[in-house]
């Protein structure tokens, strides 16, 4: 049985808000400084714990090429670790944003009045007092689309211009990466080099850049037996966090 309530349509008669509305509302934000040594001279790391649920989304923007290395979860939090390629600087500043359903976020303090839409189960699907995730673009490609960056050298970017006035942040999807350990000589003790190349994102104003940044170690005597891993695809969802 259909439920009763409010339905809002745009000029093309496309439903914008009703009891089946689904979007994530802004929940909280913060700033992480990636300044911890990693053993690779051109890289720094940083870790932060944020509120999170199974229905949340995590977006970020960085002033140096960065990527989300990994995450661990509890029932109410997520702890994320970033790695940043900081050639030309000493650290990276990463602004992060968490979004969640309006039933989780509640509404901003000081905004007592507004419009709230619920479904037949009494679950809030829309609350006008919240700020909702604003989609800008879906970006995807392969390693072949990204210009090469030499180790310890300035990053080379594939760039995208977002609409003027927007502040683009990304939700990281597939991470493009390549790891390999190779011998550098012959004989019983040839010496080894380790190579790891990974896709990173930097935002400057309304421009978003994606770079393939290298981590190189060696030569060293004893192999670390790192497996050959090739993940050639990358994708990101871009949203506008201006005003948040």
Residues of the chain with pLDDT under 70: 1-6, 13-15
Q: What is the pLDDT of residue 5?
A: 65
Sheet with 135-142, edge to edge strand ranges: 25-34, 92-100, 57-62, 168-172, 233-240, 135-142
pLDDT in tens, 125-164: 888 888 999 999 999 999 999 999 998 999 999 999 999 9
Structure tokens of 65? Answer: 């090429």
CA dihedral 96, 94, 164, 211 (to 10 degrees): -120
Enter the pTM of the model. 0.89
């Amino acid at each position: 049985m259909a439920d009763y309530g409010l339905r809002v349509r745009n000029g093309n008669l496309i439903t914008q808000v009703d009891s089946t509305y689904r979007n994530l509302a802004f929940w909280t934000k913060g700033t992480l400084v990636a300044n911890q040594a990693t053993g690779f001279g051109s890289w720094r790391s940083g870790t932060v714990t944020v509120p999170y649920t199974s229905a949340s989304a995590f977006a970020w923007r960085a002033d140096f090429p960065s990527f989300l290395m990994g995450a661990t979860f509890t029932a109410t939090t997520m702890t994320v670790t970033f790695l940043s390629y900081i050639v030309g600087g000493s650290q990276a500043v990463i602004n992060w944003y968490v979004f969640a359903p309006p039933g989780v976020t509640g509404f901003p303090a000081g905004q007592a009045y507004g419009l709230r839409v619920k479904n037949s189960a009494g679950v809030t699907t829309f609350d006008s007092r919240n700020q909702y995730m604003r989609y800008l673009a879906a970006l995807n490609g392969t390693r072949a689309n990204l210009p090469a960056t030499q180790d310890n050298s300035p990053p080379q970017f594939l760039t995208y211009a977002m609409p003027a006035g927007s502040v683009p942040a990304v939700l990281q999807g597939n991470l493009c990466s390549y790891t390999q350990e190779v011998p550098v000589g012959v004989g019983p003790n040839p010496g080894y080099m380790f190579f790891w190349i990974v896709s990173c994102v930097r935002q400057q104003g309304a421009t978003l850049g994606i770079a393939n940044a290298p981590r190189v170690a060696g030569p060293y005597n004893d192999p670390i037996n790192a497996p050959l891993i090739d993940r050639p695809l990358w994708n990101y969802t871009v949203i506008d966090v201006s005003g948040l």
